[in-house]
Amino acid sequence: MKGNEALAEAAIQAGCRHFFGYPITPQTELAAYMSKRMPKIGGTYLQAESEIAAINMVLGAASAGVRAMTSSSSPGISLKGEGISYIAGSDLPALIINVQRGGPGLGGIQPSQADYWQATKALGHGDFQILVFAPSTVQEMVDLVSDAFDLADTYRMPAMILADGMLGQMMEPVEIRSNEHKKPIEKPWATTGHQNKRVHNVVNSLYLQPKDLERLVRERFARYEVIKQKEQRAEEYLTEDADLVLVAYGASSRVARSAVNKAREQGFKVGLVRPITLWPFPTDVLQKNAKTAKGFLCVEMSMGQMVDDVRLAVNGAVPVDFYGRTGGMIPSPAEILTKMKEILGGAQ
């Protein structure tokens, strides 16, 4: 399947029946797929009048306890920022998919990873985080959509799949399993109608007393600490004896992996840590590697964003280098290999 279609089908298999979107290259196939599938299975596909409308429809649907989602690409995600902040402030689960393209501004339609800061640090105003997952294959996109819905429900917070145009547009064989047999996560807070049997539920992000708002934000941050301890995910590849450990996520991790294989063929001891969750950031695995590696090389399709979190995790123990391309350009395995040799050569 095409990456974008696989994301859509995975959401359907995870029980999502409410999709609200607005077209933008390079994620449009996701919405197009939903428009064909949702009517056949009794779901709702709605092309809203704008990204802002779409994200607020997600807020409404999520308030009623259903699995709701939207998808877009970089400029569209900026527009959704306000709504995402409201969803986080209302403690609602929802899935947001960002198939990144070049920026800033209207940018371009080729793949990019320049929305890392936005996704992990500043998706909207206010004190909040969302879960951010970074798949690197079409199969992993499918698997993470299901996990993202589950964890969003568990922790009552929005989750994002941070993909990029390359992953969204590429074709790969994929196996999709239905998750609908799973026991749904109870949502006693949902506004489903009290029928005079219980006190009515309120979904809200406005608090008139500062002390109430502070208490709620603190409660939310206590939950974030639990998530940081329990939900970090990363994949390690040939790191055991590695002098230089590459750190890359998503499409660039596949380029990095090719470069690692090539370097190993030439006798260089290099490995790769691939973050799968970007928030919570997999700090633990990097700290572990910082004890054995002589250095890190972060590879991104940006001017260097995740590298900040790598440096925070490594905390000065060893040097952290960076290599990136931006504006829709993709680093090549050969470029990364050259950079690795430059670093390793310097260390000798």
> Binding residues for another protein, per CB under 8 A?
1-2, 5, 9, 25-26, 29, 33, 36, 102, 107-111, 165-166, 169-173, 251, 254-255, 257-258, 262, 328, 330, 332-335
Write down the least CB distance from residue 2 to another protein, Å. 5
CB closer to another protein, 50 vs 338: 338
We find the least distance from the C-beta atom of residue 294 to another protein, in angstroms, to be: 25
Say if CB 93 and CB 156 are below 8 A apart.
yes
User: How far apart (Å, rounded) are the C-alpha atoms in residues 333 and 330?
Assistant: 10
Query: In which order are the strands placed within the sheet that holds 158-164?
Result: 44-47, 18-21, 68-72, 94-100, 158-164, 131-133, 277-279
Cβ within 8 Å of residue 149, ≥6 positions away: 11, 14, 15, 16, 67, 93, 95, 159
* One-character DSSP codes across 33-48: HHHHHGGGGT-EEEE-
* Minimum CB distance to another protein, residue 281 (Å): 23
By C-beta, is 65 or 107 nearer to another protein?
Answer: 107
Q: How far apart are CA 167 and CA 161, in angstroms?
A: 11
- Kindly state the tokens that stand for 333: 């395995």
Both tokens of 108, joined, read: 């371009």
Of 5 and 321, the one with the shorter C-beta distance to another protein is 5
Listed in sequence order, the residues at least 6 apart from 35 whose beta carbon sits closer than 8 Å to its beta carbon are 45, 47
**C-beta of 290 vs 301, nearer to another protein:** 301
Nearer to another protein (CB atom), residue 9 or residue 150: 9
Closer to another protein by Cβ: residue 21 or 107: 107
CB of 255 to another protein, least distance (A): 4
Do 160 and 133 contact (CB within 8 A), yes or no?
yes
Smallest separation, CB 200 to another protein (Å): 42
Element (H, E) at 282: none
Number of other CB atoms surrounding residue 42 within 10 Å: 7
**Least spacing, CB of residue 83 vs another protein, in Å:** 25
171/312 with CB nearer another protein: 171
CA dist 262 and 265 (Å) reads 5
Instruction: Count H helices and E strands in the chain, helices first.
Output: 12, 12
In single-letter form, the type of residue at position 284 comes to: D
Min dist CB 247 to another protein, Å, is 16
CB 78 within 8 A of CB 59: no
d(CA 281, CA 298): 14
To the nearest whole angstrom, how small is the minimum distance from the Cβ of residue 260 to another protein?
11
Q: Which is nearer to another protein, 110 or 283 (CB)?
A: 110
